Structures are given as C-alpha cells and as structure tokens.
Chains A and B, each alone.
Chain A
C-alpha cells in the first residue's frame, strides 16, 4: 500500500519560482547555497556601508549591539563573549541569517554575492581566513568554524532527570535559611511613582484612582 495518506485536496501546487523566493535556507552541509562568490576586501566595503553602524568597522560591536568577532577561548570565563568566531558552529548559519534577516530594519536587501562577501569578511574578522580569501559555493564546505565541535544534543534525560526524579524531603529537610542575595540591592526593576515595583497591586485602603489620573 502507498505511504500516502488520504488527502482533502486543499491547497495548490507551489510553483518553482515561489519555492525559490521563500526557501532560502542554507543547511550546514551547504545545501541551499546559490551561485555566487565574494572576497574579504569586497565584504569589508559592504560591511562598512550596511553593517558597521551597529556592529563596528571590525565587527567588534558598537554600544550594546551584538559583537560578531572576538571572544575566542572565553566560553569558560565568568562572562563569555559568544561570537561567530568563538561560539557559532557553522558558516552556513552566518550566510543564511545575514541573507534573510540583516541589516536589522532592512532585511532581504543584500544580494547573494554581497552575502558571500560579508561572510568572507566576518571569517577574516575572526581570524579564520586570510585577507585575500574569496568565498563561493564551491569552497564553502571547506570552512570549519573554531567551535564546530562545541555543541551536543539535549542530555537532560540522562544528566538531570534521574537526579531530580526522587521522592522529595517533606520535613526537617535542611538547616534554617539565610538570605544571600536580594533583588532590592540592585535596584534595576522598573518602579511605580511610589518606588514600589511597577505594577504593584493598589492598596485597597487608600482612595481609588480616578480614570483621569491613570
């Protein structure tokens, strides 16, 4: 018997040009990459024009905008710096995300060649390729990011669930507690005019606010 289930006959066939317009995903093995190429020098120019106002001339980040380069070797630090070079596993994600969703506020305005060039520039900014490097669909699979081996699938079923799935203590479970951290010491929560945390329930013994006061 065929594996095809009974269908309702709803929808209509997607045309090749419609699929090409919307399915622009690139997989880790390079599946989905279009024809094209771009070198570091061109990427530097495109980046300066379209990206550097947020991410900095060297992809180092401006103000609180994301840092795209640097931080290698910092993943065990108290404050890790997670960038394309220090953290991301695949160059495919860089190409795909930039092409589809950047620049922020004007997405889908970079061409395939520009995206190759920007990706080449980001690889250079992270010390992964030399300044004469040109990236194309043909050599894409040769790029291996430093943290390619840094991830493993969810292992909570082995590492945590057995530890936590034991009958819990109900009485005399521990010594009396001491307070070690207080959020009020930081004072970073939005506040109501009276200094209470924003959204604190109104005191029902005080006159209700009128509609115009709100």
Chain B
C-alpha cells in the first residue's frame, strides 16, 4: 500500500505543476497542456485493482480528503465546553440540507444519552387530561414532514461590535437545516385537551439544564413539530435523541432537545432562558424579550475566508445561503463593490418557507479586489439590513439576532477577509 501511496502522491504533485503553468495563460482561452497528463496516460491503481468491499462500512463516514468539513469550536467564547457552541462548516457545503454529523451543537449541560426505552413525555397543567407518553406511543400518532432551519439566536453575535472571526463557519455557522418527520404538537395537545384558560405552553428537556422556554399557544398549535427523524434517520444524540421540538422560523434555543414535558399555563414562565438569556439589550438600557422570530438573512459561503479563490481569473461561482423566519425567500441580491451596485442572484432548487435557500451568481472575475455582499429579501418585503442599520436602532449590546449584511474583502491574490466597511 505504501508504495502505491507514494506513487500516487508524486503523480499528483506532477499534476499540480501542470495546473500552475496552465493558470498563467487561462485568460487567453483554454490552457494547453505542456505534456500528457500521467493521471490519464498511465493506468491508475484504482482503475485496475479492487476498492473496498460492500461489507467494509455498515455506516459510512466522509472520505478522509474531506476531513476539513467538520464542526469546529472556539474555546474562548464560553467558560465550559458543556455549556457551549460549535459551528457548522457552511463554507464547504452546498445545496440546503445539512449533514447531521457536522450540524452544529449547542448544549447547556452537555449532550445527554437517553434511550427510547427510558424516554417519557409528560403533558400537564391547564389540560383536561394530564398524560404520559412513551416513545412507542409517539410513533402511533399521524406524522408530518417539515424542512426548517435551526439558527441559534446568538449566530453572528460575536460580530455585533466589529469583524472578529475569520470564516463564515464561525460568523454564520450556528445553523443547520434538516428534513424532520414527527407529530404536530397540536395533536398531542388535543389528546390532553387544552383548557380555555391555557394561553402558553412551556417546553423543557430531560437534561440538567432543562432549557425551559415559554411559547404562545397559537404557535404551538400552528407548525411546531415533536420530531424524531431528521434527514431520514433518528435524531443524533447531540441533536436531542430521541425527541426534540422543531419550531419553524423561531430562535434555536426554543427547539428544546430531549423533550420531556409540555406544561400548559395561563402566563409565561419567564424562565432563565427567556429573561437572563435570549433577551436583547437595547441602547436605552431596557431589553426586548420574546424576540422569537429569526429575521431574513444571508451569507456568501464561497468565496469566503475559508474558501479563497485559487483558480485565477475567469469564471467564478458565488454561492451562498439565504433564509427567513418570516416565510419564503423571495430574492437575493449580490454586490461585488460593497453595496454600491447590486444584481439579483439565482435561487437554486426549491424555495421553502422558513428553510435554508441556496443562491448562486456566476461571474467572470477579472482579478481585481471585490467587496462581496449578499442581501436577502423575503416574501413579506423585508430587506436584510446592514449591520449599521441594525446598530442605529439597537446599539452594540443586543448579543442576539444579528442578521446584518456580511462583507467579504476579496484580495487580488484570491485570499478573502471578514471586514466591515464604511
């Protein structure tokens, strides 16, 4: 094997030299090969001998060449790694569905292990019949499917005061988007029979932090899902196995994982996660509470600081994500000059309400510096604001809900920086 690897490496190094030579004349049209490419003219090992057998990998992981496409954490952001955050590698992904294995995590007392056998869900409070469900009970309710983004309320929060972190994984990557299957919360509440004086539900998890959050009954009866499948399979442990709440369009903190109880009350509980946290300090020293919806937002995922341009001038794909908690994305505009002029991008694939949406713009890069920006517009007519527009209203200490326009400074050498512009 080692002999094969060495040979393969030397061939690829040879190929690299050829590409570099070709790049210099790319603008003149097709690059002409100086010499025949041995990756073509020589029979490669993989074209002759066997690959892995079908019994080698009962449940596969990505090929090792993709080892950069992983969750990352930033240690200094929190004081403990069990009440902390990590980041989805959105700079390296395409389309809209986030692979579960690299979809971000946010825990307040770690990712707990809870079997389906040990799982219980209680519904109590202002209901006709307080109930206990087993996991098996939940599998017998009529199911529905929803694709939705889960964005942490703090996504981009470190960027309120300026440009801090280098890469959209770190500045926009507290997000994932999955296809969920589960039971509408409405059906479970109907099973218990909500009393007329029940106006709020309070959802809490089985973990030590509990993560209890209050939600108006109207939202609970609308599109909230008690989910047990994500992207076709059971939830991952770190995403709430075996049952979590899916709360389309609302801040990620309310997507309670390891869901164990739904209480029905006549008022909000005003728990720690909706008073001390997930309240948004404003300029006058007062704070907004109950800022549930995540507003329209977008980011160019490539080029970006972790995805520099290395192929030289000519055709360049600008790709990115847009989303809105207030409905469907209607349009995404892209600017190459920091917002002086804009052009509409293509929305590629299906556009779903309260879900990630992919956009593309194909340009012919002349090698000059660019200030890339994207601007999402949703079906309500809301246009994604600049960071300065948000700060003018909110000040610098909002902590949460930063949906300001991101600027990437593309240098002439193809390297890309996170910047703010004025």
Contact = CB atoms under 8 A, between A and B. Distances in A.
Interface of A: 3-8, 10-14, 18-19, 22-23, 25-29, 31, 63-66, 75-76, 78-80, 82, 87-90, 92-93, 96-97, 100-101, 104-105, 107-108, 150-156, 159-161, 163-166, 168-184, 186, 188-190, 196-211, 214
Interface in B252-296: 260-261, 263, 265, 267-272, 275-276, 279, 281, 283-293, 295
Given A10-B191, A183-B417, A210-B5, A174 B124 contact: no
A102 B59 CA distance: 38
A151 B287 contact: yes
B64 A190 contact: no
A166 B14 CA distance: 55
A52 to B, nearest CB: 16
B389 to A, nearest CB: 7
Interface string B100-134: 00000000110000000000001111001111110
Contacts of A23: 122, 124-125, 261, 263
Contacts of A92: 270
A63 B304 CA distance: 35
Contact of B12 (A64, A169, A173, A207): A207
Given A89-B270, A101-B208, A184-B417, A11 B133 contact: yes
Contacts of B338: 174, 176-177
B167 A197 contact: yes
A177 B420 CA distance: 9
B351 interface: no
B231 interface: no
B156 interface: no
A206 B16 contact: yes
Given A22-B122, A27-B267, A76-B283, A199 B417 contact: no
Given A27-B267, A183-B417, A8 B141 contact: yes
Given A19-B124, A155-B288, A188-B76, A168 B383 contact: yes
B333 interface: yes
Contact of B132 (A7, A12, A154, A175): A12
Nearest to B188: A11
26 contacts: A8-B191, A13-B131, A14-B132, A22-B122, A75-B285, A79-B397, A97-B271, A101-B108, A104-B109, A107-B208, A154-B288, A160-B295, A160-B385, A164-B384, A164-B389, A173-B341, A174-B338, A176-B338, A179-B419, A180-B420, A181-B162, A190-B73, A190-B74, A199-B69, A200-B68, A201-B307
Shortest beta-carbon contacts, A-B, top 9:
A177-B338, A107-B208, A177-B421, A75-B285, A181-B420, A11-B131, A64-B79, A183-B418, A14-B130
B418 A182 contact: yes
Interface residues of B, number: 119
Interface string B296-340: 000000000111101000000000000000000000010001111
Nearest to B130: A14
Interface string B37-66: 000000000000000000000000000110
Contact of B333 (A170, A189, A209): A170
A3 B189 CA distance: 12
Interface of B: 5, 9, 12-13, 16, 19-20, 64-65, 67-70, 72-76, 79-80, 83, 89, 91-92, 108-109, 122-125, 128-133, 137, 140-141, 162-167, 169-170, 187, 190-193, 196, 202, 204, 208-210, 212, 260-261, 263, 265, 267-272, 275-276, 279, 281, 283-293, 295, 305-308, 310, 333, 337-343, 371, 375, 377, 380-385, 389, 393, 396-397, 407, 409, 417-422
B64 A25 contact: no
Contacts of A196: 306
Contact of B72 (A179, A199, A206, A208): A199
B276 A165 contact: no
Given A152-B286, A177-B340, 11 more contacts: A31-B265, A63-B79, A89-B270, A93-B275, A93-B276, A100-B212, A159-B393, A177-B421, A177-B422, A200-B305, A208-B9
A23 to B, nearest CB: 6
Contacts of B209: 101, 107
A172 B133 contact: no
Nearest to A187: B166
Nearest to B137: A10
B177 to A, nearest CB: 19
Given A25-B269, A177-B421, A209-B65, A190 B72 contact: yes
A84 B341 CA distance: 47
Contacts of B417: 182-184
Contact of B131 (A14, A90, A164, A186): A14
Nearest to A29: B267
Given A18-B122, A171-B341, A189-B170, A197 B306 contact: yes
A179 B421 contact: yes
Given A27-B265, A88-B276, A201-B307, A150 B64 contact: no
A103 to B, nearest CB: 10
A182 B422 contact: no
B208 A108 contact: yes
A182 to B, nearest CB: 5
A132 B140 CA distance: 56
B93 to A, nearest CB: 11
Contacts of B409: 179, 182
Given A23-B124, A101-B208, A172-B341, A8 B140 contact: yes
B16 A205 contact: yes
Nearest to B399: A82
A84 to B, nearest CB: 8
B341 A87 contact: no
A179 B65 CA distance: 35
